[in-house]
Amino acid sequence: MSDPTPPVRLRPAQDGDLDALLALEERSFAGDRLSRRQYRRHLHSATACILVATHEHRLIGSALLLFRRTSRAARLYSLAIDAAARGQGIGRRLLDAVEQQARQRGCDRVRLEVRADNAAARTLYERCGYARCGQRAAYYEDGANALLYEKRLSPH
């Protein structure tokens, strides 16, 4: 018997997703949020890729990946999953898609920062092959430390 639940769909973000991206950002992060202006800029930038996860036309996850012309490392700037959708593998699927985008752009690794006190995110990154490679003291606006992670990408 097939599952009647509609699948989660991953796709590039579109202009029409802007309000939902901002709402997800607000629900997901107490501070250090992306603004409407930043999202709008990234939506139309050649050096950024925003992917979204949707379920029944509702945005339930997003990932923002940044590229620099002079670097073979992509930077995962933001990964947000709606609280009601956590634990369903959406973060892992978004990470896989981000890594594929990085490979397509000629990158050989993905780097990211994560709050030192965000155990769930750190666990996800570590399970997906990201290795801790540093720390930044008082990185976030509330003074929290950031842990730096990196994953070397194998060619596919």
Quick check: 130 and 112 in contact, CB under 8 A?
A: yes
Average pLDDT score over residue span 76-100: 95
Q: How confident is the model at residue 30 (pLDDT cuts 50, 70, 90)?
A: confident
Mean pLDDT of 133-151: 94
Please determine, for residue 141, whether its predicted confidence score (pLDDT) is greater than 90.
no
Average pLDDT, the chain: 93
Q: Give domain 9-152's CATH superfamily.
A: Gcn5-related N-acetyltransferase (GNAT) (3.40.630.30)
The answer to whether 29 and 118 have CB atoms below 8 angstroms apart is no
Degrees (nearest 5) of the Cα angle 131, 132, 138?
155
Q: State residue 5's pLDDT score.
A: 59
Domain boundaries, the chain: 9-152
Residue 3 has pLDDT above 60, yes or no: no
pLDDT at 4 over 60: no
| pLDDT tops 80 at residue 136 | yes
pLDDT of 63 reads 97
Q: What is the pLDDT of residue 9?
A: 96
